[in-house]
A and B are shown apart, each in its own frame.
Chain A
Amino acid sequence: MQKARIPKKVREKKQLAAVDKPKMTLREKVNYSEDLFKKSGHYHGIHRLELRDKDPLRFERVFGKLRGALVGAREAALHISASPIVRNIGELCFALYTPEGDSITLSTGIIVHVHTISEFIKYMIRNNYEDDPGIKHGDIFCNNDAAIGGVHTSDISTAVPIFYKEQLVGWASGVTHEPDCGSSMPGHSPTQPQSRFEDGYIIVADKIGENDKIFKTYRLRSSKSTRTPMYWDLDEKARLAGCHKIREAVIKIIEEEGSEYYLRFIREIIEEGRQIALARVKERLVPGRYRAPSAMPIAFVEVAEGRTERPRQDILANAPVEVIVRPDGELFFSTDGASRSQPFPFNCSETAMQGGLWVLLSQLLFYDGRVNDGSYLAVKSYFPPGSVFNPTDPFASYSCAWPSLLACFTGLVRCLSRGFYSRGYREEVVSSYGETTDSTQGGGYLEDGTYFPLATFDISAVGMGAGALRDGLDYGYAMWNPESDMGDIEVWESLELGFPWLGRRVKKDTAGFGKYRGATDWENLRVAHGVKSLFAYMVRGGGVSFVCTGLMGGYPNATSYRSAMARSNLAEVTQAKRPYPTGEGDPNDSEVKRFLQGDYTIHKRGATLGGNLSNGDILHGNMNGSCGFGDPLSRDIELVKKDLEDEIYTAGLVKRVYGVVASYDSKNQKWVIDEGATRKERQKIRDLRKSRAIDFKEFLESERQIVFEKNLIEPIKNMYRESMELSPKWAEEFKEYYGLPEDFQF
């Protein structure tokens, strides 16, 4: 006999009631929820948003209260911190999760970590923490293991369970970024580690407190495990205070709205987030296949100079991005073809990649949705196991994951932007973002023995790429934290006591060229002063290569380089009250060299393993701008004039690149464009293009010869070899493209 069909509405209610019954273990709840999603295609099996449809104002009010509580928690918590990274730059974020660990809503801040914390909570649930070490009211859990949930060791997450009448109703969580993570070298993104055993002080989803109090043993252990224990301790308290504020707010909301409403609400809001995400894909993109490869280079200065203490090699990691958009709103993101994971610190865990995907989609496509794990559930992804974006080696190091992650996701921005453009939403197009790399790191001792870290976080204000209707945003963006801020120099100097700034300023002629220009690079110039010892290093993906390109004819921004002056005579110059450099400017006519004497060095390579500085030594650092959009010859001459006025470009560059002939009228103190000469100059550039360009076939043959003869440097050969070994599909396409024999290998 055929069974009576249970109406969908009744079935959903039963499903929801079942998951919140105490007899189900947490692990069973996670499995149950995932099973419901798999079977129904809807989060928690929720097809209809009953609460929202029945009383949308109440629904929005509850959401508003939760969101307000999280933003309020962040604002309060950052004042507990002493680290400028957290207190001034705002490198923290809070989020609220379901009992199963799915994010409901979040505060402002480093939102890249919202999904990574979800993985941390699920890790505890899947490993039966409910039984051992137990999950109860007042417990405090902590994690910074990137293999579980995080990007690298310096991102520390705290999670606190929220109970209402002895029922687990969710998790409050917060994350902060530490200036030092206790690695084998000082700093927050160390470049030397080759395995997790050098990554620093790793807390593996540990219970670090009970009854709302952090264990004394944990605090003592932490105080001896990093070089900046005060910042660690106060950040710990900041995270905990924020979590407790959220817990209080959630309990108050439950008391006002009822637990039944709340538990249905948190699932509906995630399903709503998922539905909005699908709708946005359909609304703003064109179905099809998008591709945007990048290659992440790490070229060590020390390797070139043969002075590495331990074996190191230059690296080029393939970071191909493919996005498939289907007409039903499904978006599939893949890095198939990526390079192999290595014994280096530039690996990214799968959770970090999910975090990167989530944070960018939240900003580019789903920003007016709910920005919760609904977005995560709406998107499918593939990060090849064993690749740099999903290492399978349990010992893999993740301490400097960002250069790889940042290079890879520039491709996602370019892919989505092509979709926005084709769909007519040109205002959404962004050529990409500047990589937030090249911060100065290390640590040292003042002459009186006081230790100070180097962990400048002005990388939180690099460039946002040009759009299809506007120039890039200068020094105002970080892909992982939309609340961009470079911080005041004076504040950084209060942390980095022995390494004051001589200046910070815009670097001319570096913004990516285009019809709309990218953001300009900017620079720091610093001097070691009053130190007994100082160890410093920098890392930037670029240097030997551009990390990402412009869009539709736009060019990349200038690459970085390394320059320094050892044993400068700055003290003598300042004593004599002579001018001193506040930046480098054109490296071919360095202001440092013009004003000072000393041993000046310059290198194209962007990464260093670290070196010692003495008093008077000068270090230059570049911060990224971003790429341009469209053919530079179509840039409005009025915009070029403004570039000259704003000192973004020099007259020489605008003539060379933009074909704009300009002169400075010193009497009236303004730039004058010669429109007739500009027309001629632009035609001249167009004619030059015509005279030099070759047919594609000719170009293809020359490239084929390079590949066939393997006339490539080792890092490139390694990159191709690894991609072909890891991905048969990538290998097949590569060989087919060049018509290479089946048995071709690098």
Chain B
Amino acid sequence: MTPYDKKTIADLIDGKLEWSALKRIISDHKDADRFEKVLAILQERVPWKEQILLPLAEHLYVVQKGRERIVKAECGYEFGDYRQNWKHKSKVFVRNTPELLQEMYRNWEHSDPQWQEMREFYCPGCYTLLDVEVLPPGYPVTFDFLPDLEGFYKEILKKPLR
């Protein structure tokens, strides 16, 4: 597989590729250096210096900060150790009344708050919406993804984890 150039990957990240080009990438074999390229592009874009170890989600990265590995937002907000659920450091808004749900959905076309609540998790730094959970009241907040960073770097990327 011929690697894609940096511009193509940057355009892909930004959703700027034409469908025909994107379709080719979807259909083709995967480019083995994608992770490194994406990381390098993202690193150039963020307004802080810490080394990105893993893009975790939209707006969120796992970064190396001194001897710690933390979840850091694009805006600079730091959520703490990546092994803890970043949602526990977020700002939360719960839509649990018909009125609050009807700010988004029409009457009849949203959940019944007795059955389910809608939880919105915001970045405390810039109030970007990071995740939306729709779960029954009382359901523990989901820890979506706990990466095995050591295993990933050592056994798959064959690189030291700095």
Q: A residues touching B (Cβ–Cβ < 8 Å)? A: 282-284, 286-293, 295, 297, 299, 316, 325-328, 368, 414-415, 418-419, 421-428, 468-470, 509-510, 513, 515-516, 544-546, 548-550, 552-556, 558-559, 561, 586-588, 602, 604, 630-634, 636, 656-657, 686, 689-690, 692-696, 698-700, 703, 706-707, 712-713, 715-716, 719-720, 733-734, 737-738
Which listed residue (A415, A424, A734) contacts B38, Cβ 8 A? A424
Once the chains bind, are B130 and A295 in contact (CB under 8 Å)? no
A368, B91: Cα distance in complex, Å: 41
Once the chains bind, are B134 and A290 in contact (CB under 8 Å)? no
24 A–B pairs (Cβ distance < 8 Å), ordered by A: A291-B143, A293-B135, A295-B139, A325-B148, A327-B155, A368-B29, A418-B144, A424-B9, A427-B26, A510-B109, A513-B104, A545-B134, A545-B136, A552-B130, A552-B131, A555-B104, A604-B112, A634-B128, A689-B122, A694-B93, A696-B91, A712-B137, A719-B136, A734-B140
Which listed residue (A468, A510, A632, A699) contacts B129, Cβ 8 A? A632
Pick the most buried of A284, A509, A552, A690: most chain B CB atoms within 10 A of its CB: A552
A418-B145 CB under 8 A given contacts A426-B12, A428-B26, A552-B57: yes
Say if the beta carbon of B35 comes within 8 Å of chain A. Answer: yes
A310, B126: Cα distance in complex, Å: 54
For chain B residues 111-162, which have a beta carbon within 8 Å of chain A? 111-112, 114-116, 118-120, 122, 126-148, 151-152, 154-156
A703, B142: Cα distance in complex, Å: 14
Which listed residue (A284, A545, A694) contacts B92, Cβ 8 A? A694
Once the chains bind, are B115 and A544 in contact (CB under 8 Å)? yes
Which listed residue (B9, B109, B122) contacts A559, Cβ 8 A? B109
Q: B residues touching A (Cβ–Cβ < 8 Å)? A: 9, 12-13, 15, 17, 19, 22, 25-26, 29-30, 32, 34-35, 37-39, 54-59, 87-94, 103-112, 114-116, 118-120, 122, 126-148, 151-152, 154-156
The 6 closest A-B CB pairs, nearest first, are: A424-B38, A693-B91, A545-B116, A327-B155, A558-B109, A327-B151
A residues less than 8 Å from B155 (CB atoms): 287, 327-328
A428, B12: Cα distance in complex, Å: 12
Given pairs A287-B148, A693-B127, 11 additional interface contacts (CB within 8 A): A291-B144, A291-B145, A292-B144, A299-B115, A470-B15, A553-B58, A553-B128, A630-B58, A689-B127, A692-B93, A716-B136
B residues less than 8 Å from A513 (CB atoms): 104
A550-B136 CB under 8 A given contacts A424-B38, A588-B108, A696-B90: no
A427-B37 CB under 8 A given contacts A657-B104, A686-B127: no
A287-B152 CB under 8 A given contacts A426-B12, A469-B12, A713-B115: yes
B residues less than 8 Å from A602 (CB atoms): 108
Chain B's nearest CB lies how many Å from the CB of A134?
47
A residues less than 8 Å from B137 (CB atoms): 703, 706, 712, 716
Once the chains bind, are B143 and A544 in contact (CB under 8 Å)? no
B residues less than 8 Å from A288 (CB atoms): 145-148, 151-152
B residues less than 8 Å from A326 (CB atoms): 148, 151
Residue on B nearest A587 in the bound complex, by CB? B108
A425, B34: Cα distance in complex, Å: 7
A733, B130: Cα distance in complex, Å: 24
Once the chains bind, are B93 and A689 in contact (CB under 8 Å)? yes
A residues less than 8 Å from B142 (CB atoms): 291-293
A452, B136: Cα distance in complex, Å: 40
A696-B88 CB under 8 A given contacts A287-B156, A292-B144, A421-B57: yes
B residues less than 8 Å from A657 (CB atoms): 104
A residues less than 8 Å from B110 (CB atoms): 546, 558-559
Chain B's nearest CB lies how many Å from the CB of A725?
17
Residue on A nearest B26 in the bound complex, by CB? A427
